Amino acid sequence: MSRVNHAQLQSSIRDILDFPTPGIVFKDISPLLGDGPLFRSVIDELAEIASNTELSKIVAIDARGFVFGAAVAYKLGLGFIPIRKKGKLPYKTVGSSYQLEYGDAAMEIHIDALNPGEATVLVDDLLATGGTSASAVNLVQKLGGSVKAALFVIELDFLHGRAKLPPDVPVHSLIRF
């Protein structure tokens, strides 16, 4: 396994001002994704953290979380569960609404994505205000599953997002701004 060079990772994230709305500084992960060795080391490190927990599935959030979550699930040989924006899943779903730093949103999970008692790890690219991640944890719990940890590539400390996650869900972030 290759360890992440955290300085290189941090420098691979570029700021896009006023996207998607004025006043927001968007963290663009495109340079990270374009750097094969760096991307591999990020997946390796997330998978190593996840492997310290007994679990059966990786849960990831639409859309950038899919990039990291699916790769971690593949590396660990686990099932992958997508949590998508409302109206994007084809089968019966259960949903949850939440607040973003720039508006309201809703997301859904298939009603048969988990069996009661299944343990998961949540993977996403970014922890900001915590509303999206807390909503994802809520969806897993609605299906009777548990979230044993939440893994993020980036965390924006100044938004205090980890405070919105349940205290029994350890939060791991590779870099923090």
Architecture of domain 53-176: 3-Layer(aba) Sandwich (3.40)
Catalytic (active site) residue 101: yes
Catalytic (active site) residue 64: yes
Q: Is the pLDDT of residue 1 over 60?
A: no
The 3 state secondary structure assigned to 11-49 is: HCCEEEECCCCCCCEEEECHHHHHCHHHHHHHHHHHHHH
pLDDT of res. 101:
62
Instruction: Kindly report which listed range (62-66, 103-107, 120-124) carries the lowest average pLDDT score.
Output: 103-107
What's the whole-number mean pLDDT along residues 51-58?
95
Q: Which of 3, 45, 54, 64 is catalytic?
A: 64
d(CA 129, CA 127): 7
